[in-house]
Amino acid sequence: MDLLKEEQKVTLFFQKDTVMVEMSCSIEKVYDDRLELNLPKYFMRYIEFLQVGKRLTAKAFSKLGTIDFNTVIISSPLEETFMVELDYNSVKLTPGTELPVISAVEPIEIFQGSETLYYKTFEISTDYVKFYSDKKLEIESLIKGTIKLPKDYGTIKFEAIITEIDEIYENEYTALYSMMTETDRQNLLYYMYMYTKDSD
């Protein structure tokens, strides 16, 4: 799973009586559909919750935010390695407290009436996009468009309000998203995460 990497911090969650237990660990190795985890030394006190077949919720941490997912234990910590299988359908990215932003140049299409304008982004976030346009756009005007992401990240459809025109470079615009599906927002965040990871 390319969202996760070796030595990344992960927290496992499980219920013990009326208390939600959080156990911090790290990723030893990443496989296509499973993770090998390093557990803390005190894991034996919770061994009943770490048996094969038990389901755990997990949270991994990255620069852009958190990655939440469900797992099933497929190898007990009493064996040679502790392994969990990933449930890809449960993966959810959540931005951190700082707004994730990347300086990425990607194709952006702006639809105005029957006209389609083809430009490039120079900054992308989950709340706004900055792009170049040789056609004058008005502050507070509503635009509809798409950002074409590379590889398998898809095309992000959005509606946005033009909120800023650069004072020096008048062809640089900032548009604040007013409408985007949650699926597109997740795909955008995933692309941003991978872009940041590849540039490390």
- Give residue 1's pLDDT: 53
> Residues 64, 96: contact at Cβ < 8 Å?
yes
Helix (H, G, I), strand (E, B) or coil at 119: strand
Q: What's the token pair of residue 13?
A: 């969650």
| pLDDT(37) > 60 | yes
Between 39 and 196, residue with greater pLDDT: 39
Q: Write down the residue that tokens 């398998």 correspond to.
A: 152
Instruction: Over range 12-20, report the average pLDDT.
Output: 86
Domains delineated in the chain: 9-95 (2.30.110.10), 101-199 (2.40.10.220)
Write out 38-57 in H/E/C secondary structure.
ECCHHHHHHHHHCCCCCEEE
Band of the pLDDT at 74, cuts 50, 70, 90?
very high
Mean pLDDT of the chain: 87
Instruction: Over range 161-178, report the average pLDDT.
Output: 91
Which residues is 85 bridged to in the sheet? 34, 72
pTM: 0.61
Neighbouring residues of 54: CB distance < 8 A, sequence distance ≥ 6: 14, 72, 73
Band of the pLDDT at 112, cuts 50, 70, 90?
confident
- Give residue 179's pLDDT: 95
Long-range contacts of 117-120 (CB under 8 A, 24+ apart): none
Band of the pLDDT at 156, cuts 50, 70, 90?
very high
Per DSSP, the residues of 121-187 read EEEEESSEEEEE-SS---TT-EEEEEEE-STTS-EEEEEEEEEEE-SS-TTEEEEEEEE--HHHHHH
- Rounded distance, CA 140 to CA 1, Å? 41
Instruction: Over range 187-195, report the average pLDDT.
Output: 83
- Give residue 109's pLDDT: 95
Phi first, then psi, for residue 45 (nearest 5°) are: -70, -15
Band of the pLDDT at 98, cuts 50, 70, 90?
low
